[in-house]
């Protein structure tokens, strides 16, 4: 299953972006962007450059935060690759709009089972996260087996283990 994102992301070669220092390539698909953001968060912590990985719409929300506490909470929830301590599987799909949706199953930082659902859009020549949803599961049998966008996920009220 690890090869699926590479096969699905090949159409990313045909996406055209504005002139920028970063360019969208097949190797920059959603799973790669997720991994790159995770590496940046691990390396730089709170000083990570969210703007490289998160859409302008979400960055405006960060910039418009009413307080430092609200800004810190936004950065914590926006650091979606860190929610899972161990990724078990991932799935990608491309939408007709040119957006991509990534679903990642795994063990949460709290030791429970969960998934992260991210919708990416092409912006400034790279894919950036524009919608994020977290979901807890009671067991690995509930892991998703195909990519879902955050808008396709029903709210889950399972409690973390």
On whether residue 108 sits in a domain, the answer given is yes
Which pLDDT score is estimated for 20? Answer: 29
Coil, strand or helix: which one is 97?
coil
Task: Please tell me the distance from the alpha carbon of residue 140 to that of residue 137, in angstroms, as a whole number.
Answer: 7
Give a yes or no: residue 104 inside a domain.
yes
Domain of 34, in residue numbers = 4-152
Considering the entire predicted model, what is its pTM? 0.78
Residue 141 lies in a domain: yes
21 falls within a domain: yes
Question: What average pLDDT does this structure show over 27-53?
Answer: 91
pLDDT tens per residue, range 86-137: 999 999 999 999 999 999 999 999 999 999 999 999 999 999 999 999 999 9
Distance of alpha carbon 109 from alpha carbon 122, whole angstroms: 29
The domain that contains 117 carries what CATH number? 3.10.450
What per-residue confidence (pLDDT) applies to 33?
A: 97
Rounded CA-CA distance 95/127 in Å is: 13
Helix (H) / strand (E) element for 42: namely helix 30-44
**Residue 76 located in a structural domain:** yes
pLDDT tens sequence across 53-92:
999 999 999 889 889 899 888 888 889 999 999 999 999 9
Evaluate whether residue 50 is within a structural domain. Answer: yes
Contacts of 83 (CB under 8 A, 6+ apart): 108, 109, 114, 116, 134
**Is residue 159 a part of any domain in this protein?**
no
Q: Residue 60 falls within a domain, yes or no?
A: yes
Note whether 88 and 113 are within 8 A (CB).
Answer: no
């Amino acid at each position: 299953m690890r090869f699926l994102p590479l096969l699905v992301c090949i159409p990313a070669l045909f996406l055209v972006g504005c002139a920028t220092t970063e360019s969208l390539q097949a190797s920059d698909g959603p799973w790669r962007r997720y991994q790159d953001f995770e590496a940046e968060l691990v390396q730089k912590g709170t000083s990570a450059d969210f703007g490289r990985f998160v859409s302008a719409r979400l960055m405006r929300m960060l910039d418009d935060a009413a307080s430092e506490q609200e800004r810190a909470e936004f950065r914590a929830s926006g650091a979606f690759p860190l929610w899972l301590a161990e990724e078990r599987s991932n799935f990608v799909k491309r939408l007709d709009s040119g957006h991509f949706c990534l679903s990642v199953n795994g063990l949460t930082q709290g030791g429970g089972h969960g998934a992260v659902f991210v919708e990416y859009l092409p912006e400034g020549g790279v894919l950036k996260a524009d919608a994020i949803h977290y979901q807890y599961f009671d067991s690995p049998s509930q892991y998703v087996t195909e990519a879902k966008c955050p808008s396709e996920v029903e709210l889950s009220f399972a409690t973390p283990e």
